[in-house]
Amino acid sequence: MKHTKIVATIGPACTSLAILTAMLKAGMNLARINFSHGTHASNKKAIDTLKLAAKKLDMPIGIIQDLQGPRIRIGEIDKKGLELIKDEEIILYPEEHKYPKGKKVAKNGHKILPVDLPKLVKILKPGSQVMVHDGLIELKVLSVNATQVKAKVIKGGMLFSNKGVNLPGVDLKMPVITKKDIDDLKFGLKIGVDYVALSFVGSAKDIIDLKKLIKKFDPKSKVQIMAKIEREQAVKNIKAILKEVDAIMVARGDLGVEMNPEKVPIIQKEIVKLCLEVGKPVLVATQMLDSMIKSPRPTRAEVSDVANAVIDHTDAVMLSGETAFGQYPLEAVKMMSQIIEETEKSSYDDMSAGYFKERSLPVTKAISGSVFDLVKDTKAKAIVAATDSGYTAKMIARYRPDTKIIVLVNKPEILRQLTLVWGVYPEMMPVCKTMDELIVESIKLVKKEKLVKKGDEIVIVTGQPVGKSQNMNLIKVQTIE
């Protein structure tokens, strides 16, 4: 049983019930729906099929709605693509300034590149860097006038319509939550997604703004917010952002374009550790098994990348194009699961003594640390924790104990949200009114589900009074009879 969770992006390559069922069996724990693509109808169909597959297997599946955010893209160009050659000069223009349809070159003979950013000429200046197609193509601005931008090709390549554009270090003067995001958010809340991932977060204010919108559209919603860290500004503001969110995604694709790529591995490690310190789940994403989009096997470097994220103690790792539109979606999930399991067998992913250098601890964190020590001393086969909000589970998981963490919940939304948390395997249990009833029902359930066997020792963790959130204050060692 692996501890690190797998998030798979759903797309054209994996929308059938058969393939989604197989991916769940292979180790997928959550599904990411990228709202940069598809329609509300197609995304709903994918989510409905996912839920059907999960119901068929009697296992929970968490659903992440990934909002597009203020993404800039290349407009419509020739279907055959446009080749940009090193050192040549080209023209960039906002799509609102329309050139005659089908025109490929300007009067001066320069190639024309439309960009879907109305403020393009206002925010770029000579010397600005323009990165296109995940940084594979690099341009440098030479001059700007009222309608267009002249740029020099620093790194050339073949370019096609709708490829992403990044402007490192440039203030886009755009809201992080766009009109499209608002429409998509309303839809996501209506169909009951478990996490909303906000793209291009810059500060804690962006998260607060999203919270206000969620409260406005659905005051009773318990959806959790995930901040995608993909801008230098977000890295600088990470501690403030972390206070406001429920989870973090280290979105290394855009981050490696917005910043020098050699900085990203250390940033990944630092963000994972910050998340562990506060007990909030963290997801490492982008290009983890990228070659498996076209190949049935990954490169050795990609295998090491996934293993390294596990060793960093991330809660989850993510597949993007590998499952969304790749040729081997099921094989990618299987491979990621195998890498995780092999890495977790080693001592390299074990949390070192003194990992958390906290001088004083609140009761909940102190109890969590005691659980970790108790499991080691008793060689308990499982930790069984009852939780109302999921907080208890996250606090126990932050210590990365080397055993199952069986978490008993009575709310379906908490069950699904906990599929993101390292080592946690949530189960539904009826509401209990007393401590004794809770312990009896807990033991009954883990025996029924064959999660433990006769003679096993388990550590039971809960709180009193029963049913109160963030109230972990009781530990009991129990032998299964």
Q: Which helix (H) or strand (E) holds 149?
A: strand 149-155
Tell me the one-letter amino acid at 72.
Answer: I
C-alpha distance from residue 417 to each of 143, 226, 311, 409, 427 (Å): 49, 11, 23, 11, 12
Q: Which two tokens stand for residue 264?
A: 């990203």
**SS3 sequence of 395-452:** HHHCCCCCCEEEEEECCHHHHHHHHHCCCEEEEECCCCCCHHHHHHHHHHHHHHCCCC
Give catalytic residue positions.
32, 73, 228, 286
Q: Can you spell out the DSSP letters for 357-382?
A: --SS--HHHHHHHHHHHHHHHHT-SE
Torsion of CA 59, 60, 63, 64, to 10 degrees: -110
The two tokens of residue 395 are: 């606090």
86 within 8 A of 154, measured Cβ to Cβ: yes
The answer to whether the CB of 427 falls within 8 A of the CB of 406 is yes
